[in-house]
C-alpha cells in the first residue's frame, strides 16, 4: 500500500490563514482608507467585513460537517440541484480563482518591480513580473505537496510578520505621540 501525502496541522493552519488573509489586504486597505470619509467609517467597514467573513466561514463549516464528501462545490451543488448547475458553478469558481490569482500577482508585481527595475521602466515590466510569479509558483506546485506546503508556510510566516510589523507600528506611533504630550 502506498502512503498518501498528508499535510500537518501547521501547514493546514497556514493554508487557512492564507485563505482568510489575502495579499490584497496590503493594497485594498490603502484604497479603502482613502475612500472613507472618516476613520470611524473605515474601521466600521473592517468590522462589518470581518463579521461577514465569519458568517461565511461558519456557513462553509456547517455545510462541510453536514455533508462531508470529497469534491467540494461540485458534489454539494450536484446533489442539491442538478449536475449541470454544479458544473456551471465550478466553472465560475475556476474563472474567478484565476482572476484573483492574476490580481494578486499584479499587486505583488507593483511592490517587487521597483526593486528590480529603474523607475522609468517599472510600469512596462509589472505584467511580466506578475507572469513570472505565476509560472514560478506553478512550477513549485508541480514539484509536489511537500514543496508546495513548505513554500506556503514560509510565505505565510512572512505575511504574518509583515502584518505584525504594521500593527506594532501603530502602537509605536501611539507611544511616541503620548510621550510627546
Q: What is d(CA 107, CA 103) in angstroms, rounded to the nearest whole number?
A: 6
Residues of the chain by 3-state class (helix, strand, coil), percent to 5: 85, 0, 15
Q: What is d(CA 90, CA 69) in angstroms, rounded to the nearest whole number?
A: 16
**Domains of the chain, residue spans:** 14-173
Spell out the residues 6+ positions from residue 127 whose beta carbon is closer than 8 angstroms to its own: 106, 109
pLDDT per residue over 153-178, tens digit each? 999 999 899 889 888 887 777 677 67
**How much is the pTM?**
0.70
Q: What is d(CA 76, CA 32) in angstroms, rounded to the nearest whole number?
A: 35
pLDDT per residue over 6-50, tens digit each? 888 898 888 888 877 776 677 777 788 888 888 898 889 889 988
Q: How many CA atoms lie within 13 A of 94 on its CB side?
A: 7
Q: How confident is the model at residue 111 (pLDDT cuts 50, 70, 90)?
A: confident
pLDDT per residue over 52-84, tens digit each? 988 988 888 888 788 887 777 788 888 888 899
The yes-or-no verdict on residue 101 having pLDDT over 90 is no
The yes-or-no verdict on residue 180 having pLDDT over 60 is yes
pLDDT per residue over 114-157, tens digit each? 999 988 888 999 999 999 999 999 999 999 989 999 999 999 99
Amino acid at each position: 500500500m502506498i502512503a498518501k501525502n498528508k499535510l500537518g496541522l501547521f501547514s493546514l493552519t497556514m493554508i487557512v490563514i492564507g485563505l482568510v488573509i489575502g495579499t490584497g489586504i496590503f493594497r485594498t486597505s490603502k484604497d479603502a482608507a482613502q475612500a472613507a470619509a472618516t476613520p470611524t467609517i473605515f474601521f466600521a467597514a473592517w468590522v462589518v467585513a470581518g463579521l461577514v467573513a465569519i458568517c461565511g466561514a461558519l456557513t462553509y463549516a456547517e455545510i462541510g460537517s453536514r455533508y462531508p464528501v470529497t469534491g467540494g462545490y461540485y458534489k454539494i451543488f450536484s446533489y442539491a440541484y442538478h449536475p449541470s448547475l454544479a458544473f456551471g458553478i465550478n466553472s465560475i469558481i475556476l474563472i474567478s480563482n484565476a482572476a484573483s490569482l492574476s490580481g494578486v500577482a499584479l499587486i505583488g508585481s507593483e511592490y517587487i518591480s521597483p526593486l528590480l527595475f529603474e523607475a522609468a521602466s517599472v510600469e512596462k515590466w509589472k505584467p511580466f513580473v506578475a507572469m513570472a510569479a505565476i509560472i514560478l509558483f506553478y512550477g513549485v506546485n508541480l514539484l509536489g505537496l511537500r514543496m508546495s506546503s513548505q513554500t506556503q508556510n514560509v510565505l505565510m510566516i512572512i505575511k504574518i510578520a509583515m502584518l505584525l510589523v504594521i500593527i506594532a507600528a501603530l502602537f509605536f506611533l501611539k507611544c511616541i505621540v503620548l510621550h510627546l504630550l
